[in-house]
C-alpha cells in the first residue's frame, strides 16, 4: 500500500510540474499577446488623433487643450493625454498629472531619438501603458504627445487563467491518480500475482494451471523468462520422475537429460558438426518485424536434440528472406532464439546453384531415383556440375570450422551431400564422419540408372558410418556397392572395405521426441463433429492424412480408396469426412505442380460425386500447417491414413500414435514405409490395392474400442522406447566405437 501511495503522489507531483510549466507558458504567451494588442491599439489611436488634430496645440490655449484631451479620452477610452512643450510646460488632465513623472525620462529619449516609445509602468497599484510620440512642426520643436492606456485588465485576465489552470491541473492529477491506481492493481499487480501463482503451482506439482499472456507489453519479457524457468523446472521434475521409474522398472527409456550425459561421455569435449541443406531456423520478414520460424522437417526434429546436448555447430543453406540480417560477419547465429544452445552457420546459394543443385540434381534426379514411385528421374550434366560445386563449398566451410580440432564428429544429412564425406576425409582423415540417408535406397538395378552412381558411392563411402532407416535399405546399398565399384563387402558385419578405409553400414530407425512424461499425458480431445463444424461440415466420423503434396506420398491413391469405401459402404455418406492436410512442396518442378493439380482435381471430383448439403467426403486443406494446428486433428480423428508409395520412415505415423493419449483410434499404414516395420499394431496396406485400402478404412472405423486400446498401447510403447533420443544415442555410440 505504501508503494502504491508513493507511486500515486509521485504521479501527482509529476503531473503538477508539467501542468505548472504548461500554465506558465500559456499565461506568458497570453500576456504577450494582450500586451501586443494593447500596444497596437494605442499606436493606432495615437496616429489617428495626430493626423486629425496634430496641430491643435499650436493654436490652442492650454485651457482649451485640457478640454480637447478630455474629449479624446472619453472617445477612445484612454486614461489621459499629456502635451509636452518642455520640462516646465506640460499640459495634462487630472489623471495624466499622476503619471507624468513616470514619463519625463522616456519623453527625452523619444525626442532625442525622434522616434516613438511605448512601455508599461505601475502607478498606485495600476498597470499603465504609455505611448510617447515626438511632434515636429513648422513652428515647434522638441515637443511630444503622451497617451496613457489602462493595462490593468491584463492582470485580471491572467489571474482568471491561473485559477482555471489550477483547477484543471487538480482534476487532471486526481484522475491520473485514480487511473494509475487502477492500472497498478489490475494491469500490473494482477498479472504479476497470476504469474507468481502459476510458478508456485508448477513448483508444487500442478502444471495444469496456466497463465495468460500479460496485457501490458513491458511485462511480456518477464512472463517469457518465468515461463521458461517454470517449464524447465517442470521438465526437470518430470525427467527425474521418469529416471526414478526407469530405475524401478529397469527400462532403458531415453530422455533429453540422459542423452546429454551420454554425449558428454562419448564426445569428451570433441566438436560436433551437423551438415544439412535445410536449416533448423529461418528468419523471415513479417511486416516491419523479423520472425524466426522452424521449418517442418523430421530431419530437424532428429538432429536438434544432438546439437542442443553438446552445444555444437549446424551448417546449412540460408533460405529465409531475413537470414542475412540476423547473422554475424561469419554467417553465424545462436539458436534457438529464446534460449541459445548451439550455433547455426549459414551458407548462401546463388539462384543458379539452387536451381541446379537443389531442384535439379537433388529433387529431379536423386529423389525419384531413390523412391520407387514410377516417376522417371532426370539427369543433366549441368545439374551434376552444380551438385559437385555445392558439395565442395560445404566441404570447405566444414574444414574451416574444424581446422583446429583433433578428432571432430561430423554428421552429414541426406542425399543432398553424398560427395561430402569423401571431401572432408581427404582434408581431415582423423575426423569421424557419418552420413544419414533419410530416404530409401533402391535396388542396384534401379540405382544403376544414375550416370554418376560410382562418384556418389565413392563419396558416401568416404564416411566411417552410413545410416539408413531400415536393414532393407542397408542391404540394397551394400548390393549396389558390391555390383558397381571395386570394394570388399563383409556381409556378416555390414562393412565395406575400400582402399584401406572401412565403412560401417547400419540401420537407425529415426523417431520423434516422445518420452514417458508425454506418454502419460491425459488431455481432453474434441469430437470430430466439433472440429469439422469449424469448416462448415457436419460429420460424425473423421479420418486424417498429413503429407507434403509429393508424388511419393500416394495421396491420389488414398482419395481413390476413400471413394471406393463410400461406394461399398453408402451408409457412411454424409457421416464420414476425410481431412487431408497437404503442404505444397517444390512446386517449381513440373512433376510436383502436376501432383498438386491431380490431388485437387480428385478431391473436387469425389466431392461432386457424393455431394450433400453441409457435408464433404474430402476436406483438402492445402497449405503449410504448424504442429499446433495439426494437433487437434491428430487427437480427434477416428484414424490416420498414411499411404506412401515409398518412404524412408514417415514420422507422421509416429506423431499420430504419440498424440493418442486416450489410446484409441487406428492407424492405416502403407507397407512401403519404414515405420511399418516398427508399428505392428497398425493396419498395414498396399496403397496400390484400392479395394484392400477401402476395406481398411471400414475396419478402422468399426474396430472395437478394446482392440483399438490394445493396438495403440503397443505402438506407443514402441515409440517411447525407441524415441529420437534413443536414435541419437545409438548413432553416436556407433560413431564413437569406429576406429
Task: Report if residue 68 sits inside a domain.
Answer: yes
Whether 682 and 653 have beta carbons less than 8 Å apart is answered as yes
User: What is the model's pLDDT at position 362?
Assistant: 96
Same domain, 76 and 141: yes
Beta strands in 168-281 (DSSP E): 272-275
**pLDDT computed for residue 138 by the predictor:** 52
DSSP, collapsed to helix, strand or coil, labels residue 583 as strand
Q: Looking at the structure, do residues 288 and 408 belong to the same domain, yes or no?
A: yes
Q: Are residues 394 and 311 in the same domain?
A: yes
Domain end residue (candidates: 93, 123, 156): 156
Is 516 among the domain residues?
Answer: no
Mean pLDDT of the region 154-169: 72
Is the residue at 585 inside a domain?
yes
User: Are 559 and 705 in a shared domain?
Assistant: yes
The answer to whether 204 and 234 have CB atoms below 8 angstroms apart is no
Question: Look-up: residue for cell 461440415?
Answer: 537
656 with 608, same domain: the answer is yes
CA distances from 122 to 31, 148, 152 (A): 16, 12, 9
Instruction: Check if the beta carbon of residue 296 is closer than 8 Å to that of residue 584.
Output: no
What is the distance, to the nearest Å, from the Cα of residue 120 to the centroid of all Cα atoms in its chain? 67
Pairing of strands 541-549, 576-584: parallel
Cell of 251: 527400462
607 and 503 in a common domain: no
Residue 19 resides in a domain = yes
DSSP 3-state of 135: strand
Among the ranges 32-46, 257-271, 530-544, which has the highest mean pLDDT value? 530-544
Within a domain: 356 = yes
The DSSP letter of residue 414 is S
Distance CA 455, CA 75 (A): 114
Residue 357 has pLDDT above 70, yes or no: yes
Same domain, 551 and 479: no
DSSP 169-221: HHHHHHHHHHHHHHIIIIIIIHHHHHHHHHHHHHHTT-TT---PPPSSGGGHH
Q: For residue 576, which of 625, 639, 668, 631 has the smallest C-alpha distance?
A: 639
| Of the listed ranges 172-186, 423-437, 689-703, the one predicted with least confidence | 172-186
3-class state of residue 29 by DSSP:
helix
**What's the pLDDT score for residue 409?**
96
* Residue pair 147/27 in contact by the 8 Å Cβ criterion: no
Residue 582: closest CA among 637, 544, 611:
544
Q: Which residues constitute the domain of residue 316?
A: 265-507
State how many domains the chain has. 3
pLDDT at 248: 43
Confirm whether 467 is domain-assigned: yes
Among residues 134, 156, 178, the one where a domain terminates is 156
Which pLDDT belongs to residue 152? 79
Kindly give the interhelix angle for 420-427 and 453-460, rounded to the nearest 10 degrees: 50
User: With pLDDT > 90 as the criterion, what percentage of the chain qualifies?
Assistant: 54
Residues 147 and 275 in one domain: no
249 confidence band (pLDDT: 50, 70, 90): very low
In this predicted model, which residue has the larger pLDDT, 429 or 38?
429
pLDDT digits (tens, 9 = 90+) for 140-161: 556 788 888 888 777 777 777 7
Kindly report whether the peptide bond that precedes residue 336 is cis, defined as omega within 30 degrees of 0: yes
Q: Give the C-alpha separation, 114 to 476, whole Å.
A: 116
Q: Give the dihedral of Cα atoms 148, 136, 53, 153; nearest 10 deg.
A: -10
- Residue 437 CB neighbour total at 10 angstroms: 23
Report whether pLDDT(205) > 70: no
Q: Given 3-state DSSP classes, what are the helix, strand and coil percentages for the chain, each rounded to the nearest 5?
A: 55, 20, 30
CATH number of 391's domain = 3.40.50.2000
What are the CB-based long-range contacts (under 8 Å, 24+) for 289-297?
A: 290/322, 290/325, 290/326, 292/326, 292/337, 293/320, 296/583, 296/624, 296/626, 296/627
- The Cα diameter of the chain in Å comes to 143
Q: Please indicate whether residue 7 or residue 314 has the higher confidence score (pLDDT).
A: 314
Contact 643, 685 (CB under 8 A): yes
Residue recorded with cell 488632465: 93
Three-class SS state of 632: helix
Strand segments (E) across 371-451: 409-413, 432-436
For residue 634, pLDDT over 90 is answered with yes
Handedness of CA 138, 139, 144, 148 (dihedral sign): negative
Q: Which residue has the higher pLDDT, 554 or 101?
A: 554
Do residues 317 and 278 touch, judged by C-beta distance below 8 A?
yes
Q: Name the pairing type of β-strands 89-92 and 80-86.
A: antiparallel
- Residue 405 φ then ψ, to 5°: -95, 140
The pLDDT, as a whole number, for residue 483 is 96
Assess whether 150 and 291 both reside in one domain: no
Which has more pLDDT, 558 or 26? Answer: 558
Q: Does the CA dihedral 533-538-543-546 come out positive or negative?
A: negative
pLDDT > 70: percent of the chain: 83
The mean pLDDT value for 551-564 works out to 97
The residues near 303 (Cβ < 8 Å, ≥ 6 apart) are 274, 276, 280, 314, 411, 413
Q: How far apart are the first and last CA of the chain?
A: 70
Give the domain-ending residue among 156, 190, 218: 156
DSSP assignment letter at 160: H
Instruction: Judge if 439 and 296 occupy the same domain.
Output: yes
Pairing between β-strand 409-413 and β-strand 342-347 as defined by DSSP bridges: unpaired
Lowest-confidence pick of 72-81, 109-118, 415-424, 483-492: 72-81
Per-residue pLDDT, 124: 75
Strand 126-135 relative to strand 282-286, pairing: unpaired
476 plus 595 within the same structural domain: no
- Write the DSSP symbol of residue 521: -
Report whether 577 contacts 617 (CB < 8 A): yes
CA distance 135 to 114: 9
Position 228 scores a pLDDT of 67
CA atoms of 337 and 228, how far apart (whole Å) = 13
SS3 of residue 91 by DSSP: strand
34 burial type by CB count under 10 A (0-12 exposed, 13-18 middle, 19+ buried): middle
More confident residue, 58 or 335: 335
Q: Check residue 2 and give its pLDDT.
A: 67
**pLDDT value of residue 572:** 97
- Rounded Cα–Cα distance for residues 80 and 83 (Å): 10
390: which residues sit within 8 A by CB, 6+ positions away? 349, 353, 357, 416
**Which grid coordinates are listed for 708?**
483399438
pLDDT digits (tens, 9 = 90+) for 594-633: 999 999 999 999 999 998 889 999 999 998 888 888 999 9
DSSP string, 450-480: STTHHHHHHHHTTSSEEEESSHHHHHHHHHH
How confident is the model over 477-505, as pLDDT tens digits? 999 999 999 999 999 999 999 989 999 99
In a domain, 190, yes or no: no
The verdict on residue 282 lying in a domain is: yes
With a CB cutoff of 8 Å and minimum separation 6, the contacts of 682 are: 653, 666, 667, 668, 669, 675, 676, 711, 715
CA-based radius of gyration for the chain: 44
Query: Of all helices (H) and strands (E), which one includes residue 656?
Result: helix 651-659
Same domain, 454 and 535: no
Query: For the domain that residue 24 is a member of, what is the CATH number?
Result: 3.30.450.20
For the segment 319-344, the average pLDDT, to the nearest whole number, is 93
* Pairing label, strands 639-642, 541-549: parallel
Low-confidence winner among 309-313, 500-504, 678-682 (lowest mean pLDDT): 309-313
Amino acid at each position: 500500500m505504501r508503494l502504491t501511495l508513493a507511486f500515486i503522489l509521485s504521479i501527482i507531483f509529476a503531473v503538477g510540474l508539467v501542468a505548472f510549466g504548461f500554465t506558465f507558458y500559456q499565461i506568458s504567451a497570453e500576456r504577450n499577446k494582450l500586451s501586443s494588442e494593447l500596444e497596437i491599439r494605442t499606436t493606432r489611436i495615437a496616429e489617428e488623433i495626430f493626423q486629425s488634430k496634430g496641430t491643435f496645440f499650436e493654436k490652442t490655449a492650454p485651457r482649451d487643450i485640457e478640454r480637447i484631451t478630455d474629449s479624446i479620452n472619453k472617445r477612445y477610452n484612454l486614461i489621459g493625454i499629456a502635451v509636452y512643450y518642455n520640462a516646465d510646460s506640460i499640459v495634462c488632465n487630472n489623471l495624466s498629472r499622476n503619471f507624468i513623472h513616470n514619463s519625463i525620462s522616456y519623453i527625452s529619449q523619444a525626442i532625442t531619438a525622434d522616434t516613438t516609445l511605448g512601455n508599461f509602468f505601475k502607478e498606485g497599484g495600476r498597470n499603465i501603458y504609455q505611448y510617447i510620440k515626438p511632434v515636429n512642426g513648422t513652428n515647434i520643436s522638441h515637443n511630444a504627445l503622451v497617451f496613457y492606456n489602462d493595462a490593468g485588465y491584463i492582470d485580471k485576465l491572467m489571474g482568471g487563467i491561473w485559477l482555471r489552470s489550477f483547477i484543471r491541473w487538480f482534476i487532471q492529477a486526481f484522475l491520473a491518480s485514480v487511473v494509475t491506481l487502477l492500472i497498478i492493481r489490475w494491469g500490473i499487480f494482477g498479472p504479476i500475482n497470476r504469474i507468481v501463482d502459476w510458478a508456485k503451482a508448477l513448483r508444487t506439482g500442478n502444471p495444469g494451471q496456466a497463465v495468460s499472456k500479460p496485457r501490458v507489453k513491458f511485462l511480456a519479457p518477464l512472463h517469457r523468462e518465468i515461463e521458461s524457468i517454470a517449464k524447465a523446472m517442470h521438465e526437470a521434475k518430470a525427467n527425474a520422475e521418469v529416471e526414478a521409474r526407469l530405475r524401478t522398472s529397469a527400462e532403458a527409456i531415453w530422455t533429453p537429460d540422459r542423452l546429454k550425459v551420454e554425449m558428454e561421455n562419448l564426445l569428451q569435449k570433441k566438436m560436433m558438426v551437423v551438415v544439412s541443406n535445410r536449416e533448423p531456423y529461418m528468419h523471415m520478414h513479417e511486416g516491419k518485424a523479423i520472425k524466426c520460424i522452424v521449418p517442418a522437417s523430421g530431419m530437424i526434429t532428429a538432429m536438434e536434440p544432438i546439437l542442443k546436448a553438446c552445444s555444437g555447430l549446424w551448417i546449412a543453406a540460408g533460405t529465409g528472406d531475413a537470414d542475412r540480417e540476423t547473422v554475424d560477419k561469419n554467417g553465424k547465429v545462436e539458436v534457438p532464439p529464446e534460449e541459445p544452445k548451439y550455433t547455426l552457420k549459414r551458407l548462401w546459394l546463388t539462384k543458379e546453384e539452387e536451381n541446379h543443385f537443389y531442384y535439379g540434381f537433388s529433387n529431379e534426379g536423386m529423389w525419384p531415383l531413390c523412391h520407387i514411385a514410377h516417376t522417371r528421374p532426370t539427369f543433366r550434366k549441368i545439374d551434376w556440375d552444380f551438385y559437385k560445386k555445392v558439395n565442395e563449398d560445404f566441404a570447405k566451410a566444414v574444414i574451416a570450422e574444424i581446422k583446429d580440432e583433433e578428432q571432430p564428429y561430423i554428421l552429414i544429412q541426406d542425399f543432398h551431400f553424398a560427395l561430402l564425406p569423401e571431401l572432408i576425409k581427404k582434408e581431415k582423415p582423423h575426423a569421424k564422419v557419418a552420413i544419414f540417408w533419410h530416404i530409401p535406397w533402391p535396388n542396384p538395378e534401379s540405382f544403376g540408372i544414375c550416370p554418376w552412381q560410382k562418384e556418389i558411392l565413392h563419396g558416401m563411402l568416404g564416411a566411417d558410418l552410413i545410416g539408413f532407416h531400415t536393414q532393407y535399405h542397408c542391404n540394397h546399398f551394400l548390393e549396389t556397392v558390391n555390383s558397381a565399384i571395386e570394394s570388399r563387402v563383409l556381409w556378416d558385419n555390414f562393412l565395406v572395405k575400400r582402399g584401406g578405409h572401412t565403412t560401417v553400414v547400419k540401420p537407425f530407425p529415426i523417431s520423434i521426441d516422445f518420452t514417458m512424461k508425454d506418454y502419460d499425458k491425459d488431455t481432453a480431445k474434441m469430437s470430430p463433429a466439433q472440429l469439422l463444424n469449424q469448416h462448415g461440415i457436419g460429420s460424425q466420423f473423421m479420418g486424417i492424412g498429413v503429407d507434403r503434396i509429393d508424388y511419393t506420398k500416394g495421396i491420389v491413391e488414398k482419395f481413390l480408396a476413400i471413394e471406393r469405401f463410400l461406394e461399398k459402404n453408402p451408409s457412411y455418406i454424409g457421416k464420414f469426412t476425410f481431412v487431408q492436410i497437404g503442404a505444397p512442396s517444390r512446386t517449381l518442378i513440373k512433376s510436383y505442380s502436376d501432383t498438386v493439380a491431380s490431388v485437387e482435381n480428385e478431391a473436387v471430383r469425389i466431392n461432386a460425386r457424393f455431394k450433400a448439403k453441409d457435408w464433404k467426403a474430402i476436406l483438402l486443406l492445402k497449405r503449410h500447417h504448424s504442429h499446433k494446428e495439426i494437433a487437434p486433428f491428430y487427437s480427434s480423428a477416428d484414424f490416420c491414413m498414411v499411404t506412401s508409395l515409398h518412404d524412408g520412415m514417415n514420422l507422421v505415423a509416429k506423431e499420430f500414435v504419440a498424440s493418442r493419449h486416450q489410446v484409441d483410434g487406428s492407424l492405416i499404414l502403407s507397407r512401403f514405409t519404414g515405420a511399418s516395420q516398427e508399428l505392428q499394431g497398425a493396419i498395414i496396406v498396399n496403397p496400390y490395392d484400392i479395394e484392400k485400402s477401402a476395406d481398411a478404412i471400414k475396419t478402422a472405423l468399426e474396430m472395437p474400442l478394446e482392440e483399438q486400446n490394445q493396438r495403440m498401447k503397443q505402438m506407443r510403447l514402441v515409440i517411447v522406447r525407441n524415441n529420437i533420443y534413443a536414435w541419437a544415442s545409438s548413432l553416436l555410440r556407433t560413431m564413437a566405437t569406429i576406429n
